[in-house]
Each structure stands twice: as structure tokens, then as C-alpha cells.
Chain A
Amino acid sequence: MKIKVAADPKSVLEGSLEIANYFGYLSGVHHVQVDVERDANLGSCVGGILVDVGGEKYRVKDKKEAARLFVQGVILRKKVEDLVVKKVLPPEEARITQEVPIVKRNFGKYRDIDGYISLGGYEALKKALKMKPEKVVEEVKNSGLRGRGGAGFPTGLKWESALKEKSSEKFVVCNADEGEPGTFKDRVIIEEDPHALIEGMIISAYAVGASKGYIYIRGEYSDVAENLKKAISEAYDKGFLGEDILGSGFDFELVLRFGGGSYIAGEETALLESIEGRAARSRFKPPYPTQKGLFGKPTVVNNVETLVKVPWIILNGAEQYKKYGTESSPGTKLFSICGKANKRVVVELPLGVTLREIVYAYGEGVYGEGELAMVQTGGKAGTFVSKEKIDVKLDFDAVKEGVSLGSGAIVLIDDKSTFLDIALNVIEFFEHESCGKCTPCREGMFLMKKIVSKMVEEGKIDYDALQEIERIVLIMKDSSLCGLGQSVHNPMISLIRMLERGEVA
């Protein structure tokens, strides 16, 4: 039997692909062989998704209706009178932002350094080495590239301040300690295009005057790191790393270092502590790493995604990069779609894309019985966004509307999750990952875990206690030493607001 589901852009943005996936799910549950087709020309309808079952056109509003249609229409082969659509409209256009492969430019296209070179790899390095370091920094500055690790600091400015520092030795460090739950884009980059990362690092080192570089990769990625190790040794063999790179007189040594399982090691100063052979506990800032970083020397720390964009920008120019994205947030961003999503993938989209597009066009809605309840954006320290806010544009300004862009994590959560379930999950994570250096985070996390655990044990929500939690996280934000304590209010308060609005039980 064949089911056709409307797949015109408008229907897609309203969740038709979620319904199509759901039919697939139902066929598995009921052990019924069906052929689900996504049909962009099927047409559309008002107030639901247009579905064709055996030539009969139906409108389904939600999964409950879809399930009924499946049982009655597909399994029992009856006409489901009340779901029959009254008026079929033509397919409707709507804007769905298309992927722009800047980071993903080489994904799946090469296996070794020769393959990379044949795709134009290391051309950007050659070009950069002919430029003055100041020029390279200027190009990156002009591109408006902002850090892709979560904080969004302008990369060019960071490089510029490191370039200005007078020091016999400087470092560049790649932050590949991708520990933000729901984020796996950097892992995919390292799997798919390790040489672009290495090339980006060499260029950044040349730009700021660093002769040594570290890639700090989380210990959980040790299998993935093999690919990177191989790429580094290839780059050494070809003379892209080491002494007098491509006859330019520029030397650069690059080495890989592993994390030991610590979320906070992804914070740049904690990461430096870890490379120095200590517990990953954040340092106070200022001084910033660009002034006094690794082993006390000026250091630039950049995220994997940020660095991979650099060769593209050098080759294609800042202006070309700025064509994508918004004014405040130029370029593309990798989003890791996961959680209850039907499609859990990394997509590269220009900033300014709406959450709706990501959730319904790329993530294809939530899997299984549940309905989408909320999305956590930006990582564990990011915000919970309710379904009502799904049309928000994702860029670095979205935070003003209470939506974090962060690391680009997009975690779909269905209505099977309760407030207490999510709250406990969030706070247990942070209680476990607080490094313990500063008082408000160290003891505040512990206290919140106690408070939430008590509610979970008693099985009921204590609204006075929630007020206490708000107070704790707001003071934690105001008085913590690093970004961890300063951002836990994002998930906690956005979740509490959803509870108050009845958007989560």
C-alpha cells in the first residue's frame, strides 16, 4: 500500500516530513508493509498535512489523527470520513534555507592528503604565506567570522590582539574538546575533513606569529583522532608542517593532546590548564589567553569549525563569506540536530535560518509517538525553546530573544519528557561537571541538585523551591568565574518559564 505525504515547502515547514516518518514508524509497529512517498506535488491543505492513502486525500492535524488514519485507512482499508480533506490546495511555496557547504565543502570527497590537494587543499595556505600576517588577520576580521565554539567572539579581533603581543613565543590551540551535549559537528569535521582543520591552524599560526600549535581533542574521541593523527603526519611528510613551510621561512609544529573527560575543559582557559598538566579549572580573565595563555605566552584558542572556515575565507575572500548569513552574524553555522529528531545530522546553514526550518525541514520533526514539546538550542547550557517560539531566527542576536545559538546543538524533545525529568537531567550534568573552583558554581550546583532531587522523590513540583533555584542561578550568573556558572540560568530559567506557561508538565 502506498501513502503519499505532501512535501511542498509550506507543508514541510508545518511538519509533513514528521508525519511521513511517523507512518514509517507505524508500519514497523504494526508490521504492515507500506510505501511512504514524500510528494512535493501532492498539494496542500489548510490546518493540517495533506495525506493520500490509496487515492483518498486526507488532512491530519497531529500524530493522533495520523495513527487513526493508519489503523483505519491503511490496515483496515476503510475510508476515514472525518479526516477526508474538504479542499485540496495546490502545492505552496515557502522559503527553506538551503545548505551552503563551506565547512562541508570536502565532506566525503577525499581519503588522504593527495585527495585533499586535488580538491584545492593547501592552496589557501600557499596564498596566505604570500600575504603579510597583518593582511591575513585583516581578511579574517573583514569576514566577520565569529567563534563557533559557543561564545561567538570575533575571530579576527582575537587574532589581532595576539598578533600585537610581543613575545618570543606564541601558541595556537584548536579546541576540539567538543563536550557540549548535543553537539557533534566537530567530530564529523575531523572525520570528514581533517586537513582543512590543519590548514586552518597553520594559517592562524602564521597570522598571529605562533610557531607551535596544539589540537586538544576530547578523550572520548580517541577513535576519531586516529584520522587526525594520520592527517597530521601526512602534512608533515608533505612539508606543510615543520620547518620552513613551503619555503616561506615560517616554522610551525603541531601536536595532538587528549582530554580526560571533562566538560569544562572546553572552556578555553580550563583547556590551557589541562594542556599544562593540571585539572581543567578555568582561570580568571583578564588576562585573556591572547595576552597570557598557554605556559604564560600569548595564545589563540579557536574552535574546530572556526578554523575550518579560515582556508575558505582566504581563498574566496571576506566579501564572499559575508554574502551568507546576517549582518551581525555573517556566514554559515553547523547545526547538530539530535535528541528525538527523525534525522540526526549535521547541517550547514547560513545564520539567520529559523529554528522551524532546522527542526522540520532538516530534522524532520520528532520520532515516534510523541509530539514536539521543545528544543534545546546551543548545548546543555543553552536555552529551552518552546514550540511557540520555533520561528525564531538563529544567529548571535537570538540570545536577545532568549534563544542561545551556542555551539549549534539542536536537541528535539518530545512531550514524553516532564519538567522534573529534564530539570534533574540538566542539573545532574552540571553538578557533575562543575570544576569546583568558584563558590557559586561549586556549591550552587550541589544545592540545586538537592532541591530538584527532593522534588523528584516527592513527585511534585514545589514552586517556592523553583523561586529559590531562580535566585541561585541568577546570582551564579552574576558572580561565577567562568562561562559555565554564568550560563546555567539559560536552561534552568527557560525551562521554569515553560512550566509556568504550561508548555511542559
Chain B
Amino acid sequence: MTINGREYEFDKPMTVLDTARKVGIYIPTLCYHPRITQNGSCRMCLVEIEGQRLLQTACTTYIRDGMKLWTHSERVKAAVRHNLELLRMIHPDDCQTCEVNGRCELQDLLQRFGVERTIDYYGNAVDILDESSPAIRRDLEKCVKCFRCVKACEEIQDLSVYAMIKRGHYEYPATAFDAPVYNTVCVGCGQCSFVCPVGAITEKPDWRKVLELLEDGDKVVIVQTAPATRVAIAEEFGAEPGTISTGKMVAALRRLGFDYVFDTNFGADLTIVEEGNEFVERVNKGGPFPMFTSCCPAWVNYAEKVFPWVTKHLSSARSPHMMLGAIAKTYFADKIGKKPEDIVVVSIMPCTAKKDEILRDQLIIDGWQPVDYVLTTRELGKLIRLKGIPFMSLPEEDYDHPLGVSTGAAAIFGVTGGVMEAALRTAYEVITGETLPKVEFDEVRGLDGVRDATIKIGDKEVKIAVVHGLKNTEMLLKKMERGEVFYHFVEVMACPGGCIGGGGQPKSLDPDVIRKRAEAIYEIDEMMELRKSHENPAIKQLYKEFLKKPLGELSEKLLHTHYRDRSKEYLNLWKYYEKERVS
């Protein structure tokens, strides 16, 4: 086939868009996103194909033998430019203060094609500002009606929080009856904010508060970073997905003014010890099974809202950053002679749901919140940029002790299957008392939606499953309800690929971004000297000095939680219909 007059040969069917990108030809897109199916609606990826009366969309057209096409003929450019003019017609000009300034696909397109405001600004037909959710913020005045959020919520999570309501110029992605998104079935996963090409859906921004805290506050500010952040943050500075930049990230956090830089991986190791022991206890007691992991807050929200029976099966272990927060404000505070109230903990997370998680009543200990703020990986990138820190040329620095010490088992928390694998590494050795012959559990690795296996631990056969994406989860849970499958232990991650594909991660149109980040995660694991959570010396010391034993009294207070049936809480959305919105 011929693209722009040059001959190419391909042997497998691909879309024109994928083909062009493969050979390095730029085709603009706006509604296309590799995480969802094509919508074919923005009409940006237009190409001219010989023999076709009208322009065709590259994202939906498949290459054919002998096809001749042009990606930027005058005809194509005129159409793309005009369609951009039309989007500019409804899009406000407040880029400077927009959350996604510099990270906006519309902005890039307008710049690329030099589209001035040739058509009067008529405003968007919708101006809803929905700040109800601690996880995400919807500023629909900026919406370009690309359908990505609608499709992401439907196709990845099968929640369909949004639907494109009304028609024509007046349409917009609404929640049912325009209820505040926090009151809907929304679990806060933030996939909508990840795919949104503009600033219409973002994480609920908390970076400004943290900035003020760092510049003006008199408290001890502790920061911790989730496993998945270190393989993604560099993308914010132009690096390839999967670039490991743990040391630079630590250095950047110090330069931002954080007093202590800890690693959520420490919390992950702690989680495994607690959760692993909880599982061992259930194995010894004979149930209840299955046990579900509980470190993904979007999944916990989902279980409480949609499958309340699951709440009785969730591990009672708090998520890693909550554990670290609790330890930092007790054990570590004591070491530096502070009280919990003197300390502020900020978590850097690949996740928007974590912003919601920290506010859960059940997680408050003696009146204080273990974690005070959650920033997404994207927000951290923004802070570093705004402070003029030259991220890519920073030296590699280490986490502070002792809550910065971790193992490979903690590192893989960031990828689907990782929590399971980490738990198995510990459970195996706790149950059998023997050393694992092979650390890697290949059965739970990979990116298939649902993976299951039977693992032999001593004389016991443990049936496990790993699932990511709530649509896959829903299918699996329904199979369980019908009695078609049985598992002892199930890991659930709401986002595709696990936390590496989290809703708070750097936005990416790279179709392989999840695979690349996953590979980096496993690389970190391999580089670690210690690869089993229970071998973490800082953890051992923590138990010795402070917690005494897993599932002990103090553990229960600081490291465990309980869940509620919230299946009735997202009903009666109709009451919000045409109510004045209070933001």
C-alpha cells in the first residue's frame, strides 16, 4: 500500500491509524484512545483514500492491498482545521489556569494546526462544575464531547456512570439525572479522568493545598510514593513509559520540601505480612473463602456498592499507604518526638480513588487521619514542573529510613497479579516453613482480564484468581454467585493492568503503556535483594519494637478496617433531577 506516495508492506490487518503510527506518520486524534473501542466521532484522523468519495477516519478504516492514501493533503487539512475551529467555538480560553494546561490534546491540536479563534466563541451548552467527589472533578464547560469517558466507564468498568444525554450541540456526558457524581455508583477509579483529552474531567486537584503546606506550613510533612508511580512519573517529562525513575522522584520530592520521603512499598510489605497472615489464618480455620484483596479503594467501593456480599470476604487489611500513614504518625512520630497531630502525610498515588479512601470514617484513628492528602502521579508531575525542578537531570537519591525500606514483593503491588504473587511468596513460607524454590509465580502474571491457577502450598491446593477491570470483575463475581467457580483467594484491581494503569497516572496514548510499565515493575522486583515481604528488616524491626505480632491488638487498631454495605447509597438519584447544583 501507499501512504503519502511512499510504498509500504504489511502482512497483518491493521487500522490505517495503527499502520501510520507504526511507520512514524502523525495522524491527529481526539476521540480515539487505545484503552477503549473506537468511536469514530471526532473526525480528526481523517485521511484521503483513492477511490473513496469522502474522507475516511484512520481509526476505523483497515488497510487493504493496494490502498493509496494521503494523511495530510490540503483536503484533509482543511477538514481537520475546520473541525478544530468548531471545537474552539465551544471551548473556553482559560488554558493558563486549566488543570491540564500543557497536557491537553485539544490545545496540542489547535497549536499543531494553527487554529485561531476564527469563529466567535459561543460557549458550551453545558457549564456543570461537579466537585462532589473527592476523587474526580468534572468541569463540563470544557467538554469536547469525545465520548471517551462514557465509553471508558462502560467498557472498562461496566458502570456506565455517564451517558451522553440530549442531542446535537446540547449533548453532554451526564450522570443519571445529573446527580453529583459522588452520589452515583461511581467508584472513583478515575479512568474517565485518565482518558479525558481536555480538562473536563480531572482528578480532584489537591496539589495547591500541598504546595501551600510545603511553603508555609510548620508541620512535619511526610511523603510516600506508591509502587506504580516510579515507573510512570518520568513520562510527565517526556520519557518513554516504563522508565524507572525512583531515585529522581525521591530527589524531586526532597527539592519540593518534604521533610521525609518514605516508600509506600514499605506499607505494601506490611500489608502482605498482615494480609498473608490473615489468609493463613483463614486457611487454617477453613474460611471464609474466597478472601478478596482490599488494597484497591475503587474495588472496595465497588464491592460495597454493587456486590455487598463481598464485603464479608474482603481482607480486613488496610491498603499499604494507609498502613504507612498510621505507622508514620505513631511509631515514626514517636522516634522523632512528635504527636500524630504534628505530622502531615501526603501520598503520591497512581490513583484517584485514594483521594476518596483517606476520608473513610472507618480509617480514622483516635480522631486523626492516617493520610492527609493524596496527589496523583500527574499532580506530582505538575508540582515538579511548576517549581522548575529539572527532573530528568536530578541525581538518584534514596528513601529515608526506616519507612523507606522495602522488598521486591512490595514493588510488584503496582501491577495486576502483584499482590497475589507477593502474598503467595509469604503465605507459602509461613504455611510450609520452607523456602520458596522459585520466587516468581508466572501463573498470575500477564495482562489477561482474568487469570486463575491452583497453587500447591505444602499439601494444600490453593485456588486463586487475579482480575483487573471491574467489567472483568463483575463477570467473575457473577460466576461465583452461580457457583461455577470457586477460589480461596482473589486479587482484584479496578484499573486495567492494576495500579500502573491507574486513573491518576500520566496520560498516555501509547497502546503498550501498560505492558511497558508492567515490565519495569518486574524489573524492579528482580533488582531487589530481598523479594519477600516478611524478610523486610524494617518490618521485622517494626514488629519487634512496636506491633509485636501480625493481627495483634495494635495491628487491628492501626492496620485493619471493616466495610459497609453501601448498596442503597447510590439509589434515589432522581431526586437530583433539575435541582440547583451546590458545588
**Interface on A for B, CB 8 Å cutoff?**
262, 279, 281, 283-284, 286, 431-440, 442-447, 450, 471-472, 475, 477-481, 486
B117 proximal to A (CB < 8 A): no
Pick the most buried of B46, B86, B164: most chain A CB atoms within 10 A of its CB.
B86
Question: How distant is B126 from chain A, measured CB to nearest CB, in Å?
Answer: 12
Contacts of B89 in A (CB 8 A): 443, 447
CB distance from B417 to the nearest CB of A (A): 30
Q: Could you tell me if B122 and A450 are in contact, using CB atoms closer than 8 angstroms?
A: yes
Task: For the complex formed, measure the closest distance between the CB of A268 and the CB atoms of chain B, giving whole angstroms.
Answer: 16
B327 surroundings in chain A (CB, below 8 A):
none
How far does the Cβ of A450 sit from chain B's closest Cβ, in whole Å?
7
Q: A468's closest neighbor in chain B, by CB?
A: B119
Q: Assess whether A438 is in contact with B42, with CB atoms less than 8 Å apart.
A: yes
C-alpha gap A488/B458 in the complex (Å): 72
26 inter-chain pairs at a CB distance below 8 angstroms, sorted by A residue, are A284-B40, A286-B60, A435-B168, A436-B145, A436-B168, A436-B170, A439-B83, A440-B79, A442-B86, A442-B169, A443-B86, A443-B90, A443-B169, A445-B168, A445-B169, A446-B122, A446-B169, A447-B122, A471-B82, A475-B78, A478-B46, A478-B79, A479-B54, A479-B55, A481-B41, A481-B43
- B342 located at the interface, meaning its Cβ lies under 8 Å from any Cβ of chain A in the complex: no
CB distance from B134 to the nearest CB of A (A): 31
Output the nearest chain A residue to B48 by Cβ-Cβ distance.
A478
B contact residues around A471 at 8 Å (CB): 82
Q: Is the interface of A mostly helix, strand, loop or mixed?
A: helix
Shortest beta-carbon distance from A219 to chain B in Å? 15
Q: Assess the B168–A442 pair: CB atoms within 8 A.
A: yes
A279 to B174, CA, bound (A): 13
A486 with B54, Cβ < 8 A, contacts A435-B168, A442-B168 known: yes
With beta carbons under 8 angstroms apart, the residue of B42, B44, B171 that contacts A436 is B171
Cross-chain contact A444 with B54 (CB below 8 angstroms): no
The reply to whether the CB of B255 lies closer than 8 angstroms to some CB of chain A is no
Q: Are A481 and B40 in contact (CB under 8 A)?
A: yes
Are B54 and A478 in contact, CB atoms less than 8 angstroms apart?
A: yes
Distance A442 CA – B39 CA, assembled complex (angstroms):
15
Please tell me if B246 contacts chain A, counting CB pairs below 8 Å. no
Whole-angstrom distance between the alpha carbons of A437 and B60 in the complex? Answer: 15
Smallest CB–CB gap between A20 and chain B, Å?
45
Contact yes or no, A279 B164, CB < 8 A: yes
Say if the beta carbon of B167 comes within 8 Å of chain A: yes
Least CB distance, B469 to chain A, in whole angstroms: 20
Whether A480 and B43, one on each chain, are in contact in the complex, defined by CB atoms closer than 8 angstroms, is yes
Residue of B nearest to A450 (CB): B122
The 10 A-B residue pairs whose C-beta atoms are closest, nearest first, are A284-B40, A443-B86, A446-B169, A436-B171, A434-B168, A479-B79, A475-B82, A436-B168, A439-B83, A437-B41
Whether B264 sits at the interface, judged by CB under 8 Å, is no
Cβ contact within 8 Å between A442 and B75: no
Contacts of B2 in A (CB 8 A): none
Contact in complex: A479, B43 (CB < 8 Å)? yes
| B166 interfacial by beta-carbon distance below 8 Å | yes
Cα distance, A286 to B39, chains bound together (Å)? 12
Given A479-B55, A481-B41, A279–B86 Cβ distance below 8 Å?
A: no
Cα A472 to Cα B79 with chains together (Å): 9
Residues of chain A within 8 A of B196, CB atoms compared: none
Please name 15 further chain A to chain B contacts, defined as beta carbons within 8 Å, in addition to the given A431-B169, A443-B169, sorted by A numbering: A281-B164, A284-B39, A434-B168, A434-B169, A436-B145, A436-B164, A438-B42, A439-B42, A439-B43, A442-B171, A443-B86, A446-B169, A447-B89, A475-B79, A479-B54
Interface positions of B from 329 to 367, Cβ below 8 Å from A? none
Place the interface of chain B in its size category: 35 or more
Distance between Cα atoms of A440 and B41 in the complex (Å) = 9
Q: Complex Cα distance A452/B229, Å? A: 53
Q: How far is the CA of A432 from the CA of B168 in the complex (A)?
A: 7
Nearest CB to that of A485 among chain B residues?
B43
Task: Check A439–B86 contact: CB distance below 8 A.
Answer: yes
Tell me which of A281, A446, A475 has the highest count of chain B C-beta atoms within 10 A of its own C-beta: A475
What is the bound-complex CA distance between A475 and B78, given in angstroms? 8
Residue of A nearest to B57 (CB): A284
- Whether B87 is near chain A, meaning CB under 8 Å from some CB there, is yes
Q: Are A477 and B54 in contact (CB under 8 A)?
A: yes
Contacts of B166 in A (CB 8 A): 436
Contacting residues, chain A, for B60 (C-beta < 8 A): 284, 286
Contact between A436 and B79 (Cβ–Cβ < 8 Å)?
Answer: no
On whether the beta carbons of B168 and A431 are closer than 8 Å, the reply is yes
- The distance in angstroms between the C-alpha atoms of A48 and B345, with both chains bound, is 95
A440 and B82 form a contact (CB under 8 A): yes
Q: How far apart are the CA atoms of A431 and B41 in the complex, in Å?
A: 17
Residues of chain A with a CB closer than 8 A to B435's CB: none
Smallest Cβ-Cβ distance to A283: which chain B residue: B40
Interface: B541 (CB within 8 A): no
In the complex, whether B4 has a CB less than 8 A from a CB of chain A is no
B572 within 8 A of A: no
B 145-171 binary contact with A (CB < 8 Å = 1; else 0): 101000000000000000111111111
Distance A480 CA – B87 CA, assembled complex (angstroms)? 14
- Alpha-carbon distance A384/B159, docked complex (angstroms): 47
Bound Cα distance A431, B170 (Å): 10
C-alpha gap A445/B125 in the complex (Å) = 14
**Neighbouring A residues of B170 by C-beta, 8 Å:** 436
In the complex, chain A residues whose CB is within 8 Å of the CB of B171: 436, 442
- Among B38, B87, B163, point to the contact of A439 (Cβ < 8 A): B87
Query: What residue in chain B is nearest A262 (Cβ atoms)?
Result: B167
Chain B residue at smallest Cβ distance from A284: B40
In angstroms, Cα B115 to Cα A235, docked, is 60
A415 to B83, CA, bound (A): 36
Please pick, from B122, B165, B168, the residue contacting A433 in the complex, using a CB distance under 8 A. B168
Beta-carbon contact of B43 and A440 below 8 Å: yes
- B120: chain A residues at CB < 8 Å are 450
Nearest Cβ on chain A to B523's Cβ, whole angstroms = 40
Chain A residues with CB below 8 A from B39, complex form: 284, 437
Question: In the complex, what distance in Å separates the CA atom of A224 from the CA atom of B225?
Answer: 66
Contacts of B145 in A (CB 8 A): 436, 439, 442
Is A446 within 8 A of B168, CB to CB?
A: yes
Question: Chain A residue with minimal CB distance to B86?
Answer: A443
Interface centre among A432, A433, A436, A486 (most CB of B within 10 A): A436
Q: Are A479 and B38 also in contact (CB < 8 A) when A436-B168, A446-B168 are? A: no
**Residue of B whose beta carbon sits closest to that of A476:** B82
Q: How far is B90's CA from A445's CA once the two chains are assembled, in angstroms?
A: 13
A438 vs B41: C-alpha distance when bound (angstroms): 4
Docked complex Cα distance between A326 and B44 (Å): 41
Complex-state Cα separation, A284 to B86, whole angstroms: 21
- Contact A447 B86, CB 8 Å, known A478-B75, A479-B46, A480-B43: yes
